[in-house]
Amino acid sequence: MEKVKKIEKKILEKLQKTIENRLIVEKEKILIAFSGGPDSVFLYYFLNFLKSRLSLEISIVYINHNLRYDVENDLKFVKEFAAENSVDYYIESIDVKKHAKENKKSLELAARELRYKAVENIRKKIGYDKIATGHNLDDNVETFIFRLLRGTSINGLKSIPRVRDNIVRLILEFEKSEILYFLKQKNQKYIIDYTNAENDYTRNFIRNKIFPDFEKINPSFRQKVYALIEEINDREAAGPEKIENFDKTSEMLKNEKELEKNLRWKDKLVQFLKQNDVEVSREKINQIFDSFFYKNRILKNKGSKEFYLGKDKFLQNQYGNLRIVKKSNKNNNRTKKNENFGSSYDKVKVLKKNQSIEWYNYKITLYEKVSDFKTSFVKEENMSYTFFKLVDDIDYKKIVVRSRKDGDRIFVKKLGHKKVKKILIDEKISKWERDFMPIIEMETFENQDCVKKFWNEEMKGEKLGSEFQNGKKGIKMKEILTVSDIKFSKFLEKLYNNDIEKLENTSKLLIIGRKNGR
């Protein structure tokens, strides 16, 4: 049952793509080339899902090739199927043997030519818009192998096109095994063509003799070949323009005009990965494209995302910039832990007066007096500094540096409490960097009157971002002072240039140093 659900989900996805790509549009009349076999029966149900949504008109046509002795069974099935599903049906007879002899062609080729011609004649006769055929993924792979063995150009290896003139092939991405399993679970009958088991025809030989050997080497070989077919189609669609080296910052990918000039982004991505000693496969490239790129092949520039490349390497998209990073297993486990549970390792350090603490690539110092700063502070190379003064009426009991937590808010002057997560997103801080950014928080005790005043005058009835706990000394308050060096609260004043020289000696300073920028 689980497999059926997966197939049904795949059907819904393909139905949506059919609509998005306008393979079928509203109020069209679709004629199904119906053999009564599993593929054409599955195709009917596929289109029937779209019928009410797009107000479609559907009919079926059966072509009698006059090659099999049991054709009457086929005709009976077609008529019964049409009656059970209240669908109009048409039957056309063709003389394949005569056509093959007169034109010196194989029965296989003669049947194909006459079949398409007959279906097209019926379409015109009844005034329908399109013909839908039941070609599936296995058929496409068979065509690829058939043409490869016969000798063909790259253009020939594109195999069965999804659209040709007024013919659409809507189930090309479904394997035969999926179709058979789905119909079995739905108790849907279909015709079994005994000639498919005969190996007189080249395609039958490929299907019955060659494919089983391929399966022994790789059970998923059909999907691998189909991925190659799709890549060939993509290359043909991309045009002949020569590909330059991949820009590691991916700035070009964010510009649609540049996209029009450089169409083969998959090639550029392959080159980028190879430059960084990453093993490349079509499946991996397709997965990256599905994850990192929009449908129009423009790199996503919102948020941050990463893709595991193997061998501890990750491809990261940080707001439209691609880079490859390497993480040890230890770091990977911690990152995964943090993504699932927030800052679950709860790193916390108390910031003592006139002392510095190291926090990843940050160095944070609290000075009780300006004079202490002047006598002991020394700037370090490759370190940028941000200076803050604590507002004069702050009487804190403790200041700590910690990792961020879910629900963190900071009280910003004139703006009120703001979510830390929203701030980090607005600042385009990638999600794997957020847990390493210092949150500086103060704790203080206030009496009931002070808290009431704070609530009425400052909070103005909004939801509380501070933490309050009753204690013997009064009410314990926690308030975030800064989110790294990118956002500070109303309890701090940012200092510029020579501002420190103008401060009174009793002023308290908070200094955040950051190595090599963010």
| 7-18: average pLDDT | 85
- At residue 446 the predicted structure's pLDDT band, cuts being 50, 70 and 90, is low
| 202-223: average pLDDT | 88
The CATH homologous superfamily to which domain 2-237 belongs is HUPs (3.40.50.620)
pLDDT at 275: 76
Phi, psi of 119 (to 5 degrees): -65, -40
pLDDT at 340: 35
- State how far the Cα of 352 lies from the Cα of 362, in Å rounded to an integer: 16
pLDDT at 82: 96
Q: Using the structure block, give the residue that is written with the tokens 């108390």.
A: 350
pLDDT at 92: 94
Tokens in use for 329?
Answer: 């297993």
pLDDT at 171: 93
Q: What percent of the chain has pLDDT over 70?
A: 79
pLDDT of residue 106 exceeding 90: no
Per-residue pLDDT tens for 59-86? 999 999 988 888 899 999 999 999 999 9
The mean of the pLDDT values for the chain is 79
pLDDT of residue 249 exceeding 60: no
Reported pTM: 0.52
* H-state helical runs in 265-414: 265-275, 282-292, 329-341, 370-376
Give the closest residue to 62 by CA, choosing from 190, 170, 155, 163. 190
pLDDT at 44: 95
Tokens in use for 94?
Answer: 């063709």
Q: Are 208 and 171 in contact (CB under 8 A)?
A: no
Q: Are 512 and 488 in contact (CB under 8 A)?
A: no
pLDDT at 476: 66
Per-residue pLDDT tens for 494-508? 998 788 888 888 888
pLDDT of residue 245 exceeding 50: no
Q: What percent of the chain has pLDDT over 90?
A: 29
More confident residue, 190 or 433: 190
Sheet order of strands, 29-33 included? 88-93, 57-64, 29-33, 130-132, 167-168, 163-164
Contacts (Cβ under 8 Å, ≥6 apart) of 417: 409, 410, 411, 459, 462, 463, 464, 465
Per-residue pLDDT tens for 375-420? 888 888 888 899 999 887 777 788 999 988 888 999 888 888 889 8
- State how far the Cα of 190 lies from the Cα of 40, in Å rounded to an integer: 9
Lowest mean pLDDT among 167-181, 185-199, 261-275: 261-275
pLDDT at 36: 93
pLDDT at 334: 42
Per-residue pLDDT tens for 313-349? 788 777 777 778 776 544 444 444 333 333 334 478 8
Phi, psi of 170 (to 5 degrees): -95, -15
Q: Which residue type is seen at 59? A: S
pLDDT of residue 263 exceeding 80: no
What are the residues facing 76 on neighbouring strands? none
- At residue 266 the predicted structure's pLDDT band, cuts being 50, 70 and 90, is low
- At residue 176 the predicted structure's pLDDT band, cuts being 50, 70 and 90, is very high
- State how far the Cα of 23 lies from the Cα of 16, in Å rounded to an integer: 10
